[in-house]
Every structure is written in structure tokens, then in C-alpha cells.
Amino acid sequence: MTTAGTLYSQPNNFRAIRCLSVAEYNGLKLDTPEFALGTSNKTPEFLSKFPFGKAPAFESADKKFHLSQTAAISWYLASLNDSTGLLGKSPQDAGLIQQWIAYGDTDLFIPVSQPAYMVFGLTPVNHAQYQAALPQIERAFAVL
């Protein structure tokens, strides 16, 4: 398996899982060193490569190429192996793929995340916010 580079992220980060899944499907290996959000991403070395200080962040195997943002990293990793078809076979396919990526990142993730954080105890329960999110979630899932 070819090593594509290094993915910097805390363990079990759902955003990193997306990048790791694309790499695995494409037959690529990503190194995943220990990473502590709030510490590792604030070091001068990290910030020199990734000025926004966000994770996940990707560094190519030759250490010359750096990306942050899950969608960009995943798209780049998908582009490294045309044979899997992850980017489609035509401009129309690519457009539809981008559409559904954006849909998942905005129309689906945003309304689902706030109530989920409450349910899992990650944020305080706010019943008004919870109830306000439900119609948005129903609308988002109705499209699927």
C-alpha cells in the first residue's frame, strides 16, 4: 500500500474518518501520529505548515504539499487513484459528487450536529434549539 502522507487529527475524529475512508478505498496509507487538539495544532511547526491551525490536516509524503479542510483532503486523496472512480468519469459526475459532499457538510451535518451534541452530553441541552432543529433534519433526510 502506497503511503500518501500524514493525516494530523485527534483519534476518532469523524472528519478524519472521512479522509481515512477515502484513502483506504483508494489503496493508500496515511500515517497518523499522536495528535492532541488544542496542543499539537498550536505548535510553531504545525502552524508553519497549516496557518489556520485546524485539524484534520494533511501533509504529502514528500512534505511539500499541505492541505486542511476535510473536503479538500478527501478530494485530493480521491484524485490519487483514477481507477476507483471516486471522482466520477465526467464533469457531470464530478459536479454531482461535489453537490452531495456539500449537502452532507451543510444541509445534513449542521442541523443534525447540534441535537446530537446535546444527546451525547457534549453541550448543554437546550430544548428550544433541539425542537427548532427537528424540521430541518426532517427536510434534510427527505431529500435522501
What are φ and ψ of residue 65, in 5° steps?
Answer: -125, 130
> Which pTM value belongs to this model?
0.84
Give the structural domain span for 24: 2-84
Q: Return mean pLDDT, the chain.
A: 94
DSSP 10-52: -TT-HHHHHHHHHHHHTTEEEE-----TTTGGGSHHHHHH-TT
118 touches 125 (CB < 8 A): yes
Does residue 78 sit in the same domain as residue 95? no
Does residue 107 sit in the same domain as residue 130? yes
Region 122-136 average pLDDT: 94
Does residue 66 sit in the same domain as residue 110? no
Domain final residue, candidates 65, 84, 103:
84
Instruction: Return the C-alpha cell found at 5.
Output: 502522507
* Domains identified in the chain, total number: 2
Does residue 118 sit in the same domain as residue 51? no
Does residue 38 sit in the same domain as residue 14? yes
Does residue 55 sit in the same domain as residue 9? yes
Does residue 123 sit in the same domain as residue 107? yes
Does residue 10 sit in the same domain as residue 67? yes
| 7: CATH | 3.40.30.10
50 touches 69 (CB < 8 A): no
Give the pLDDT confidence of 76-128 residue by residue, as tens digits: 999 999 899 999 999 999 999 999 999 998 999 889 999 999 999 989 999 99
